[in-house]
Structure 1
Amino acid sequence: MRRYVLTGTPGAGKTSILRCLAELGYGVVEEAATAVIARAQAQGEDEPWTRASFIDEIVTLQRQRQLEAATTGSVQVFDRSPVCTLALATYLGRPVSRMLAAELERITSEGIYERQVLFVRNLGFCEPTTARRISFEESLVFERIHEQSYRAFGYELIDIPAGDLEHRLAAVSSVISLPAA
């Protein structure tokens, strides 16, 4: 099983790439943070990222989704990973919780994800959404924190440059379709 992480700045186009990969038959796993935010907002909570349990809720959903996907397909692509959750905690000025630390240890010791991480570069703008309330300038700070976080864990960042969806999809496919080393 080869599990790749697709990451990058908010609004970079990760979800569009992920949808195309699903159409091509790859196993894909959606981003957990967006699901946590959407669920809370549907229940009337406007800014769930302000509550103390937010990071652990993301970690819980990421772990659950990773374990549930463990038996599907030979190649899977995950929209973010617990390393992204670490970057989010850093960005929000939150301490690393015991749950996040344990999950980072688990994915590292078990080699859950491929060492090559698909880093989708920003498009030069960041459109706000209900879940994404970040300016373009803030997204660039967040992008740098993601890079630093992945490098600190020894991952190799494979740049997926800004461009049209077809070229980005081709760049991702060229990495994930290669035989395992």
Structure 2
Amino acid sequence: MPDNYYVLTGGPGSGKTTLLEALAQSGYSCIPEVAREIISEQIRDNGTALPWQDYVLYTQLMLERSVLSYTETAKKHIPNQPVFFDRGIPDTLCYAELTKQPITEIMTSYAREYRYNRNVFILPPWEAIYHTDAERKQSWEEAVATYEQMVKTYQQYGYTIIEVPKDTVENRLAFMLRHTKATPENI
């Protein structure tokens, strides 16, 4: 298990993208979220693998792309440098649970095989900053349910949840870096 692979996750609209942008601007390696990439591609190409159309195909693509993202990252990054993933493979299992899909053996095996640092950063629902857009259509209630299921899913796979406080981007960034091995010497 790469101890330097950190997951940043949370329900939609919790400030995750902004925090990852701050990490990247500070010089840290950040791996983009595959779900948003899939949605953008499917909309652009008039595809159906969308959460509001064919959510089973969307889940399959999310799992495949998450594993590919992980394995490609392993080929490119130096082992002692911290890497921050915008969501991890267990996020796909969380989505499957939320949409009442069966958790397949392959999903479980991928979640067990491709591991991240045991400490997973999760951003709690934050209604004051929550909004929808062309790719994020979930209601506030769905955002809260997603957060709750993510906590359960990551814990089920042996991860320790570290909830990032609702605060300024700078304070959230400092909080995360205090809980990692990420220091200026190893970026």
Q: TM-score, structure 2 length as denominator?
A: 0.86
- 1:12-161 paired onto structure 2 within 5 Å: 12-45=14-47, 48-49=50-51, 50-51=53-54, 52-70=56-74, 71-73=76-78, 74-107=81-114, 112-125=115-128, 126-161=130-165
Q: 1:164 to 1:143 in 2, by over 3 A?
A: same
Q: Which amino acid aligns with 1:38?
A: S
1:113-153 CA-to-partner distances (Å, cap 9, x unmatched) read 00000111222252111111111111111110001111111
Post-superposition shift, 1:178?
5.4
Question: What is the SS of the residue equivalent to 1:122?
Answer: coil
Paired residues, what number?
175
Q: Which amino acid aligns with 2:121?
A: L
- Which residues of structure 2 form unaligned runs of 5+? none
Q: What is the percent sequence identity of the aligned residues? A: 25
- Give the conservation status (yes or no) of the 8 Å contact 1:123–1:163: no
- Give the conservation status (yes or no) of the 8 Å contact 2:14–2:124: yes
Picking from 154, 170, 175, the partner of 2:174 is 170
- Give the conservation status (yes or no) of the 8 Å contact 1:7–1:119: yes
User: Could you tell me how far apart the structure 1 residues matched to 2:181 and 2:22 are?
Assistant: 14
User: Could you tell me how far apart the structure 2 residues matched to 1:161 and 1:173 are?
Assistant: 13
Q: Which amino acid aligns with 1:134?
A: Q
Question: What is the SS of the residue equivalent to 1:35?
Answer: helix
Question: What is the SS of the residue equivalent to 2:65?
Answer: helix
- Which residues of structure 1 form unaligned runs of 5+? none
Post-superposition shift, 1:98?
4.3
- CA RMSD between the two structures: 1.7
Post-superposition shift, 1:172?
1.1
